[in-house]
Amino acid sequence: MEALDYHAEERRKAEFDVEEMKIVWAGSRQAYEISDRVARLVASDPVFRKDNRTMLSRKDLFKDTLRKAAHAWKRIIELRLSEEEASKLRFFVDQPVFTDLHWGMFIPAIKGQGNEEQQQKWLPMAYKMQIIGCYAQTELGHGSNVQGLETTATFDPETDEFVIHSPTLTSSKWWPGGLGKVSTHALIYARLITDGQDHGVHGFIVQLRSLDDHLPLPGITVGDIGMKFGSGAYNSMDNGVLRFDHVRILRDQMLMGVSQVTREGKFMQSDVPRQLVYGTMVYVRQKIVADASCALSRAVCIATRYSVVRRQFGSHNGGPETQVIDYKTQQSRLFPLLASAYAFRFVGEWLKWLYTDVTQRLQASDFSTLPEVHACTAGLKSVTTSATADAIEECRKLCGGHGYLSSSGLPELFAVYVPACTYEGDNVVLLLQVARFLMKTVSQLGSGKKPVGTIAYMGRSEHLLQCRCEVERAEDWLKPNVILEAFEARAARMSVTCAKNLNNFANQEEGFAQLATDLAEAAVAHVQLIIVSKFIEKLQQDIPGKGVKRQLEILFNVYALSLLHKHLGDFVASGCITPKQGALANEQLRLLYSQVRPNAIALVDAFNYTDHFLGSVLGRYDGNVYPKLYEEAWKDPLNETVVPDGYHEYIRPILKQHIRVARL
C-alpha cells in the first residue's frame, strides 16, 4: 500500500524547479549528488538509528556513539569514500562524537601550525586514526581570554624536554570534546616558559593515554565533566577535564611551524610568519557559519511542514479549520527564518572562498587582508550562531505544544546547537573585536587609506551620512540597490557615531568599556550588511532552473526587509529613511509573505533532508504526523508496564490512606 503524502497538494503549488533549487542549496551539482547519495546511505543503515537516543542512559548513549563512530569509519574504508564523502557521512550520522574535534581541529591545527617534519610524523597516523586527537585550549577558569591560560610548558635544557603542568585548579583543561574517555592525544595550549621567561601561549602535542591499554599516562588526570543540557544532545560527547602533574614531553612536540625552541632553550620565531595561525581560525569559523545554515534550515523545515499539517480555528459551516501557516502571525515569524537559512548558506559559501583566498595570500606573505578577514569571520560566527540558536527556539514555539516533545526533533536540535554561541569565541566578545576593527577603520578615513572588501562602503561614509532613501511606494523596497544603501548608511552611521563618542573619553579603553553595548550593536549592523551584500552577489550570478532566481529574489527581500523592520529605530536614526518609508517596507514585507506561502513546502524540500536526518515526527516528508506521534508515545520505557514501578510502594498507600505519620 502506497503511503499517503499529505504535502502533495502543497508541492504542486510550487512555482519553481525544486531539483534545481536543491543544486543551488548544495552549491553545485556534484555537491548535491554526493550529499544526496551519502544521506540515503546513512538513512538506510540500521546501525545509525537515532530515534531512541533521548531514552538511553548516559552510559548507553555513549556506548551507542562509540558503536556508530566505529561503524562509520568501517563504512568509509569499505566504500573507499573520498574526504568530502567521509565528511558528509559523519555529518548525516548526526550525533556529537569524539571524532568531531579530531577531524575538525586536531588535524587542521597540525597542518596549520606544525612544521614539515611534524606534519609528516603526526598526520599519517591521524588520518588513519591510529591516534585520536582533541583540541585542549579552554580551561576551567579561562575561555575567550586565551592569553589568560594558566597551564605551563617549561623547557628543561638538561633533558631537552618540556614539562607540562597544571599549577592551579582553574588551569584544568575543561570542555574539549573527545577528551573525557577516548582521545589518545591532545593539542594542549600552554604558556611557554624558557629560562624563567614567559613567551605566551603555544601549542603542544601531548599523548594522554597508552596505545596498548588506553590507561592515562603517568602524571595525567583525565575524565568526563558530566551531563550537559538536553537528553541526548551533547551528552553523546565525552567533553573532558584534564590536569597535568609535571608531565614531560619531547621538545619537538611543540608545534614549531611559526615559532620554536632550540636545543639550547632559545625561543625563536620561525621563517614562516606567525600570521599563518589565522588560517586555522578562518577554517574553523567558516565551518561554524556553514553549520549555522544547516541547523537553522533543519528547524525551519520541521516548523514549515508542521505549520501546513496543523489546523486551528477558522472553520465555518463544518468546513476544515485553517492551516496554521495561513495565519499572518505565523508567516511573519516563520518566513524570515526561512529566508535567513538561505542567506546564511550563501554567506557561508563566500566564506569558503575567503578561506581559500586568505590561505593563498598568507603563503605568499601577503597579510594585507588579515584584519578584515578576522573581523569577517568573528562577526559572522557571532551573528549567525546567535540568530540560529534563537531561531531554533522560535521554530519550537511555532510548533505549539507538540514542539516540546523530544519526538519533534526541536528540543534536541536546540540543545546540540546552542554551545555554538560560546565555543570558538563568546559571541559578545567577538562582536567587540569586530567593533575595534571598525573603530580603527573610521579613524583612518582621513589618512587617504582607502577601505576595501567588506568595509569599502566606509570610504563613502560622508555620502552615506547624508544620503536620503528614494522610496515613495512599497514596491520601491524591492530594488537591491535601495536596500543595500539603507544597510550601508545604517552601518556607517552607527560606527561613526561610536567613534565620535569614543573621542569624548581621555582613556580609550575606558571608552570601550562604557560604550560596549553601542559598539556591539554597530558590529551587528556591519555584519548584517555583509550578509545582505553577499545575498545580492548570489542573485547576480547565472542561476538556472524555472523560477529559481525569482524565489531567491523573494527570499532576499524577506530577509533584508525583516531585518529593517526589526531594527527600524537604527535605520531611522541613520537619517537615511523616514518612519513613513519604514512603514512602506513593512507593507511590502506582508505582500512578500503571500508570495512565499505557495512555495513554502518546496523551499524546505530543497534542503533535501531525509526523515532520518531531520529526526522529527512533525517534520516528516509525507506529513503523516498524528498517527506517528501516537505511535511514538507508546515506545517510551514508562509504557513498558501498565502499572508503574513504585505503585505499591508510593501510590497505593496514598490512595488507601495508609500513610504512616511520624510525630515530632
Residue 472 is among the residues annotated as catalytic for this protein? no
Please check whether residue 41 lies inside any domain of the structure: no
What gap in Å lies between CA 560 and CA 554, rounded to an integer?
Answer: 10
Considering the domain architecture, whether residues 139 and 115 belong to the same structural domain is answered as yes
371 or 615: which leads in pLDDT: 615
Considering the domain architecture, whether residues 199 and 324 belong to the same structural domain is answered as no
Please check whether residue 91 lies inside any domain of the structure: no
Considering the domain architecture, whether residues 295 and 231 belong to the same structural domain is answered as no
What gap in Å lies between CA 166 and CA 188, rounded to an integer?
Answer: 11
At which of 240, 272, 304 does a domain end?
Answer: 272
Residue 224 burial by CB count (10 A; 0-12/13-18/19+): exposed, middle or buried? middle
What gap in Å lies between CA 586 and CA 568, rounded to an integer?
Answer: 10
Please check whether residue 541 lies inside any domain of the structure: yes
The order of strands in the sheet holding 220-224 is: 173-174, 240-244, 220-224
Selecting among 349, 372, 424, 485, the annotated active-site residue is 424
* pTM above threshold 0.85: yes
What gap in Å lies between CA 496 and CA 458, rounded to an integer?
Answer: 9
Considering the domain architecture, whether residues 236 and 198 belong to the same structural domain is answered as yes
Please check whether residue 402 lies inside any domain of the structure: yes
What is the domain count for the chain?
2
Cβ within 8 Å of residue 23, ≥6 positions away: 29, 32, 545
Please check whether residue 69 lies inside any domain of the structure: no
Residue 73 burial by CB count (10 A; 0-12/13-18/19+): exposed, middle or buried? middle
What CATH number is given to the structural domain containing 260? 2.40.110.10
Considering the domain architecture, whether residues 227 and 254 belong to the same structural domain is answered as yes
Q: How many CB atoms lie within 10 A of CB 147?
A: 8
What CATH number is given to the structural domain containing 14? 1.20.140.10
Q: How sure is the predictor about 434, in pLDDT bands with cuts at 50, 70 and 90?
A: very high
pLDDT in tens, 24-50: 999 999 999 999 999 999 999 999 999
Cβ within 8 Å of residue 192, ≥6 positions away: 153, 155, 198, 199, 200, 201, 202, 254, 261, 267
**Which string of DSSP letters, residue by residue, matches 32-54?**
HHHHHHHHHHHHT-GGG--TTGG
Residues belonging to the binding site for FAD are 138, 177
Residue 188, beta-bridge partner list: 136, 204
- For residue 294, give the C-alpha cell: 544547516
What gap in Å lies between CA 127 and CA 115, rounded to an integer?
Answer: 17
**3-state percent helix, strand, coil for the chain, nearest multiple of 5:** 60, 10, 30
What gap in Å lies between CA 552 and CA 549, rounded to an integer?
Answer: 5
Considering the domain architecture, whether residues 372 and 478 belong to the same structural domain is answered as yes
Please check whether residue 64 lies inside any domain of the structure: no
At which of 244, 272, 300 does a domain end?
Answer: 272
Residue type present at position 445: L
Q: Name the residue range of residue 580's domain.
A: 1-34+275-459+469-663
Most confident of 281-285, 421-425, 622-626: 622-626
Report the Cα–Cα distance between both ends of the chain, in Å, rounded: 69
Please check whether residue 17 lies inside any domain of the structure: yes
pLDDT number for residue 6: 86
pLDDT number for residue 659: 63
Q: How sure is the predictor about 76, in pLDDT bands with cuts at 50, 70 and 90?
A: very high
Residue 250, beta-bridge partner list: 161
Mean pLDDT of 514-524: 97
Please check whether residue 59 lies inside any domain of the structure: no
Average pLDDT, the chain: 93
Considering the domain architecture, whether residues 188 and 136 belong to the same structural domain is answered as yes
Considering the domain architecture, whether residues 416 and 527 belong to the same structural domain is answered as yes
